[in-house]
Structure 1
Amino acid sequence: MNTLRPSLFATALVALLAACVGGPPATPEAPSPSTAGVAPRIPEQVSSPAWEADMQRFEAADAQSPPPRGGVLFIGSSSIRFWDTLAQDFPGVPVINRGFGGSELRDSTWYADRIIVPYAPRQILIYAGDNDLNAGRTPQQLRADFIAFVERVRRDLPQAKIAYISNKPSPSRAQLLPAQREANTLIAAEAKRLGVDYIDIFTPMLDASGQPDESLFIEDRLHMNRAGYVIWQRAIAPYLE
C-alpha cells in the first residue's frame, strides 16, 4: 500500500484545512523597493475609462492653443461635442467646448481635474443624463450624480456659476420619456436648492402630441440637426454671463 511521505502528508493536510476555511492562505508579496512602506492605492469607480483618448486630444489642443481662463465652458456628451457652431451661436462669449460623445454625468465629474479646473471658467454648462438613463441608471442615481458633480466643481472653483441643461427627448429613446421627466424634475429641485441654474430644453423639443419632435433630429433620431441647436441656443442664451 502506498503511503504519503511526511512532507507530502503535511502539505496535503494544510491544503485541506485551508479549503475548509475558504481558500489557501495568501502568501504576502514582497514589496518592491519603490512601493515598500506605501499603502496601496484603491482605484476609484469611474463610469467608463474609455475617454482617455478624448482627454489627450483636449490636452493636445490646449497645448497648441490655450483656451482663455475665465471663459464659459460647455461639457457633457455628444450633444455638446457636435455643437460645431457654439462660438457663432453665442458671439462675444468666450466659449470652450469639451464635450465627449457617449459620456455620462459621472464621467465629467471624474475628469474634472482635466476638463474643468485647468480652465478656471467663470461659468460651466453641462449636458449629460440621457446616456446614463439609457444605460440603466435611475432618475434617483442621476440626481445623486448631479449633486456629486456640483460638489466636485465647487471644491476647486467655488465662484464658478453652474448650469444644468435638462435631458432632451429623442425619438430613438422615446421609451425613456417617463424616466427623463422624473430625472429632470428631481434635478431641477436640487439645482434650486444648490443655487445652480436649470435650463429646460425638454419641453420646447416636444411636438404637439407631447412626443419628441422628429424634425429636430438627424437620421439617427438621437442627435440634433441645426433646428434642434437653434432651440438650445434660444433656451441657453438668457443664462449666459
Structure 2
Amino acid sequence: MSAAGKIVYLVTGANRGIGYGLASTLAARPDAIVFAGARDPAAQSLVDLAAKHPNVHPIKFVANDQANNEAAIAEIKSIAGQLDVIIANAGIAKYYGPVATAPLSEFKDHWEINTLGTVVLFQAAQELLLASPTGAPIFAYISTGGASMGRFFNLTATPYASSKAAANFLIKALDAENPKLIAFALNPGWVQTDMGNSGATANGLPEAPVTVQDSVSGILSRVDGATKEKSSGRFWNFKAGDGPFDIPTEEVPW
C-alpha cells in the first residue's frame, strides 16, 4: 500500500480497550494507514478489523522488547515507507494495594512495561518517525490522571501510577530534545475497559465512569491538529469534566 497522501499511525495495545477503539476509529478515515500493534496480532478483534478495513495492518508488538520493537518498525517502513503518529497505549495495571505491602515485583513489572517500554519504543521508532514527511511527527503517550502529583488522587495503585508519572517525565524530555517532535501525555479518563473496570472495582465502584468511545473521541481531538507550539510537552486531559472522578481542566497538572 502506498502511503502517498496518507497519515501513517502506529497504535500499540490495539487488540482491545482504548487501543482497539483508537485503531477502529482511525481505520474509518480514508487518509489513514493504521498499524495495530498487539502481543497477539492474530487476535480475532484485529483479524476482523483488518478484514473490514484494508488500511489496517495488525503487527506483533511486545512492550519493552527491543528486538520486537525494532522489527515492528522495520515492518512499518517496509509496508508504508513512513511513520507519522505513534499513540503509545500499551501498558499494564494489575496491582491495587497500599505501598506498605506492595510487592517489589509489582513495581518492577509496571516500570518495565509502562516506563522503559516507552523508551524502547521511541528508540526503535525515532529515525522513521522523525523523518515523517508531514514535518510534524507525533508521539502521544497514553498516561493516566492517577499519575498527576499536582492533583493527587489515591487509587491505591502506586506501582501503576508511579510508572506512568515517570513516563510523563520522559515525554517532557522528548519534547525538549527533539525540535520537530510533538510529544505529549494524555489522560484518557477512567475508562470502561478490563483494566479500568478492575481499578474501579478495587476502589469500590461498580464500573469505570468513562465509555471507550468518549475516551477515544477525546484522545483523537488532542492528536488531530496537534502542533509543537500549542500541544507538545504538555499533559492533556481527554476532555474537561465535572463528574466526581473527572479533572475539570483541559490540561492535567504534572
TM-score when normalising by structure 1: 0.52
- The offset of 1:180, in angstroms, is 0.5
Q: Which residue of 2 is the match for residue 118 of structure 1?
A: 79
Which of 1 and 2 has greater Rg?
A: 1
What percentage of aligned pairs have identical amino acids? 8
Aligned residues: CA RMSD? 3.8
**Change over 3 Å in CA distance of 1:128–1:226 after alignment to 2:** closer
Is the counterpart of residue 228 in structure 1 residue 228 in structure 2?
no
What amino acid is the match of 1:71?
K
CA contact (8 A) 1:167 1:184 kept: no
**Change over 3 Å in CA distance of 1:173–1:217 after alignment to 2:** farther
**Change over 3 Å in CA distance of 1:121–1:98 after alignment to 2:** same
CA contact (8 A) 1:71 1:122 kept: no
Q: Which residue of 2 is the match for residue 60 of structure 1?
A: none
Cα distance in 1, alignment partners of residues 195 and 113 from structure 2: 24
User: RCO (CA 8 Å, sep 6+): is it higher in 1 or 2?
Assistant: 2
Kindly tell me the number of residue pairs found equivalent between the two proteins: 161
What amino acid is the match of 2:193?
I
Q: Which residue of 1 is the match for residue 238 of structure 2?
A: none
What amino acid is the match of 1:80?
G
Q: Which among 5, 10, 19 is matched to residue 80 of structure 1?
A: 19
Cα distance in 1, alignment partners of residues 156 and 26 from structure 2: 25
Cα distance in 1, alignment partners of residues 82 and 185 from structure 2: 22
Q: Which among 174, 181, 197 is matched to residue 190 of structure 1?
A: 174
Cα distance in 1, alignment partners of residues 4 and 195 from structure 2: 36
List runs of 5+ in structure 2 lacking aligned partners.
40-61, 94-107, 147-154, 199-210, 228-254
**Change over 3 Å in CA distance of 1:120–1:177 after alignment to 2:** same
Q: How does 1:159-198 map to 2 (within 5 A)?
A: 159=133, 161-169=136-144, 174-175=157-158, 176-194=160-178, 195-198=180-183
Q: Deviations over 1:181-222 (max 9, x none)?
A: 1111123222331231113312xx35xxxxxx2xx3235527
**1:100 match: secondary structure:** strand
Q: Which among 107, 112, 123 is matched to residue 137 of structure 1?
A: 112
Q: Deviations over 1:106-126 (max 9, x none)?
A: 444332121234312362323
Q: Which among 80, 98, 102 is matched to residue 35 of structure 2?
A: 98
Moved more, 224-233 or 128-137: 128-137
Cα distance in 1, alignment partners of residues 156 and 3 from structure 2: 36
Is the counterpart of residue 69 in structure 1 residue 17 in structure 2?
no
Is the counterpart of residue 148 in structure 1 residue 135 in structure 2?
no
What amino acid is the match of 2:217?
V
CA contact (8 A) 2:6 2:33 kept: yes
Give the structure with the larger strand fraction: 2
What amino acid is the match of 2:143?
K
